[in-house]
Each structure stands twice: as structure tokens, then as C-alpha cells.
Structure 1
Amino acid sequence: MAPLNRLGSAPANCWQVDAGEANMVRAQATPRPVNVDAGNKKLTLDLARTAIIVIDMQNDFCHPEGWLAHIGVDVTPARAPIAPLQALLPVLRRENVPVIWLNWGNRPDRLNLSPALLHVYNGDGASVGLGDPLPRSGAHVLELGSWSAGIVDELTIEPTDIHVAKYRMSGFVDTPLDSILRNLGVTTVLFAGVNADQCVLCTLQDANFRGYDTIMLEDCSATTSPEFCMQATIYNVRQCFGFVIGSTGLIEGIG
């Protein structure tokens, strides 16, 4: 008897089918528990059901010639996650933990951006805002496919990594992120990137609202906002939305 054919885009969410049969029993992943200190308690997470989402580590946010630097923001804090992520991501990939790059990416015609959203970054209508060319490079601010929206060179991207474009503070709004996570069989999400008090926090909150276990990686997250914003973010994540851990403790727990 010929074997059934696998039907599905991810090993955790596949049927076995042929012309006369459909077997909807999914393969069960073997748990891979890892213990890590979450500050207020000991935390055990399952690497077999975990993914990491790295948010907005892009030239316009983190490069000294990007958009934020152009409008006078000191991007030094936004570059702080680079070194911890350089150490962590290879470890997670070796453990087959999906790496998801969640990056701001406008349409060239900006039809995915409302006037209310454009106004946040271009209050007078005449400044350099979303989709406008930077004076020095001509790259369009956070436009999908542009240098501005590209991930900083210091972070290595692998062919197995997953890319999701967003154009809101939350990566769950009007994107396929939720469908991708569910297809992967993910229940626990690690969060990293910038800005911790804006896009990272909004995406983490929406993940929590959808029932995911949410963990913020403190040393892999940063913000160009005042320090009290980072302190409030850490407090609120621990108090209301999940856990906060360090990447070094996670690496030690894995290794």
C-alpha cells in the first residue's frame, strides 16, 4: 500500500492524504524543557513550541545614517541588542527554534498607511516621514525592499528565517504573523528588538491577548525613549503580560 502524502507547510501542522483518505492526526513534538531565571520566579519553557520574534532591527531605526538619526535621535541605545542577538540567534537556530524577523515595511504607494499613522511621524506634513526619501541617501523611509527597511548588516540572516512585514506598532494587525505562528505549532514567543516600549510591547501584548506565552528578552530589547519608558515596559510585562529574562540565562539553560 502506497504511503500517504504529507499536506501542509509546517511539520507541526500537516495532514497525510491521498485520493481516498485524509489523516488529520498531527505529529506531536517531543517536549524540550529549558529552565531559566525570570527574576520573580523560575521559568520552564518548551523549545519545541517556542519561536523568537526580532522586531525592527532595521537601518532606519538602528543605523547612524538612518531615519531616526536624520531627525536627531541618538540611535546608540537601539544598537544595544545587536551583540546579544549575535550570540543568541545561532544557539536558537541550532535548536530548531524559528527565527522570525518582524520589520516595518510600507507599500511604495503608502496605501497601507492612514493619515493618522502618517501624522505621528510627520506632524507638519512637510517633514521626512514614512515613505519619504532621506536627504542623504534617497532611500525611502521604511519602505519594503529599501535600504531603510533592511536589517542592520551586523545581524546575520539565514535562509530558514521567516520574514513578516508590518506597518503598525503591533505586528499582529493586518499581517500573517498569527497564522504563521499557529502553523508552526508555537505556543511560547520570545520577543526582542526596538523600540521596547512601542513596537515590541504592542506586539507582545497582542500575542498575550491571543493566548501565547510571552517572554521579553531584556538585553535583546532596547528603546531610544527615556530610561523610565524601559523601566515601565519591564514592569508591565512582568505584572500583566508575561515574563522578562536575559539571553545569557537562556543560552546557559540550553547549553
Structure 2
Amino acid sequence: MGVIAAEPFPFPFEARSLALIVIDMQRDFIERGGFGESLGNDVARLQRIVPTTRRLIEGFRAHGLPIIHTMECHRPDLSDCPPAKRDRGAPLARIGDAGPMGRILIAGEPGAAIVPELAPAPGEIVIEKPGKGAFYATPLQETLQRLGARALVFAGVTTEVCVQTTMREANDRGYDCLLAEDATESYFAEFKAATLAMIRAQGAIVGWTATTSHILEGLLNG
């Protein structure tokens, strides 16, 4: 049994049942000209976590632990994208519209791909999801059961939307959840801070948070 220094208290884990889930580190959210920027966001905030997220991924690879990458994207005909999602707000471009990196958030388009620095290695699992949570309309639950995973480390974007939604879904399914504080980010600093506080409130009601350094140290000593 290993332990990771975390908040609100140390996170216990068994290496054979631990997996990393990297949420939506896609070009459309992180690079200039993508969907995130079309909503008026400063994508530089998200770009800053790419090196830390890469370090976390490489740490899991070095220990031979499973890594799951998710991508939020939709079918070309948008049959899995409800109007309530596509029509919200007043972005410069909407899901499915043509953008600098192909049709925005459409499966197979360049912008929907994971940023090159974090590209999945051969054999790593990639899950395409049409919603914010990674369990909705995907094989994630079956995948985790097949892997024997019972504890999950999370990274990715955005902290308060797809990351938090997936953590809450996982918590409801009985998984112990740990969020890498410096490998997740929001377009809004206050949203990230509030989400971290909510996750670890009331004795880790949703999960734990820890730095990447503490997570990797825990893996090394576990």
C-alpha cells in the first residue's frame, strides 16, 4: 500500500489498482484559434500546464501504470450534440463550424486531437466523449473494470467543467479520486480555486488534491 501526500489528508493507494485519466487536453481548447478562444477565453492559462501534465504522464508510463486520455468531440453529423450545447452563448464559432484546425470539436478533425506534447503512446486508451463527464455515453466504466482500477488520478481541462464532472461521476461509482493540482487548469483562476476547495471539502467529499511532485514521489515510494 502506498501513500501520496495530499489534501485534506494523505491519499492511500495500491499501485496495481491505480490509473491516470487525462481529460480533454485538445488543440481546440488549448491552442490559439480553437473553440476555447472563440468563447473569449485566454488559452495561455491552459497552455501553461502542458509541461506538468507531460511529467505526470511520463511518471505513470515509467511505472507501467494505465493511462486513459479523453477527448470531447462529436460525430460529423452532430447527432450526439444537442442544440442546448451547440447554441449556448455567443462564440465566434460553434461546435461543428469550420475553424483554423478543421471543424470545431468534430471527431477526426485536427483541432479535436490531443496536443502533440501529450499525444497518447501506442497502447494507451483514448476515449471520445460527447459530454462533459467521461462516463456518459462512453465505455469508460467497462474499461476501468477491465483494468482492475479502483483509484484514479486526474489531470486536464477544464478544472470546473469536464474534470470535476468526471470526478463526481467516478466518486458516485465508488472510485477514490485524486486531482493533480498543477496539471489541471481553468480559463478562470477563481473557478479552479473554488473547484479544488469543493473537491476536498468535508473530508474529501469528492476526492483529494495533490501536486504532481507529491504524486510522483508517492508512486516512487509505493
Q: Does TM, scored on the shorter chain, surpass 0.5?
A: yes
Task: Note the 1:1-255 alignment, pairs <5 A.
Answer: 33-120=1-88, 127-134=92-99, 137=100, 139-225=102-188, 227-239=189-201, 240-255=205-220
Q: Larger relative contact order (C-alpha < 8 A, sep ≥ 6)? A: 2
Does the 8 A contact of 1:121 with 1:129 survive in 2?
no
Does the 8 A contact of 1:121 with 1:130 survive in 2?
no
Deviations 1:147-199 (A, max 9, x none): 11011112242102100001111111111111111111110111110000000
Deviations 1:41-82 (A, max 9, x none): 222211210111101100010012322224432101111221
Deviations 1:204-227 (A, max 9, x none): 0000011111111111100002x2
Superposition misfits of 4+ residues, deviation over 3 angstroms:
none
Does the 8 A contact of 1:80 with 1:220 survive in 2?
no
Distance of aligned partners of 1:167 and 1:42 in 2 relative to their CA distance in 1, 3 Å threshold: same
Separation in 2, partners of 1:107, 1:167: 8
Separation in 2, partners of 1:187, 1:171: 16
Larger Rg: 1
Does the 8 A contact of 1:55 with 1:102 survive in 2?
yes
Does the 8 A contact of 1:196 with 1:223 survive in 2?
yes
Q: Give the TM-score, by structure 2 length.
A: 0.92
Does the 8 A contact of 1:216 with 1:244 survive in 2?
yes
Percent of counterpart pairs with the same letter?
29
Separation in 2, partners of 1:71, 1:205: 25
Separation in 1, partners of 2:38, 2:190: 24
RMSD between superposed Cα atoms in Å? 1.5
- 1:229 is paired with a residue of what secondary structure? helix
Distance of aligned partners of 1:138 and 1:88 in 2 relative to their CA distance in 1, 3 Å threshold: closer
| Runs of 5+ consecutive residues of structure 1 not aligned to the other structure | 1-32
Which structure has more helix as a fraction of its residues?
2
| Runs of 5+ consecutive residues of structure 2 not aligned to the other structure | none
Superposed displacement of residue 121, structure 1: 5.1
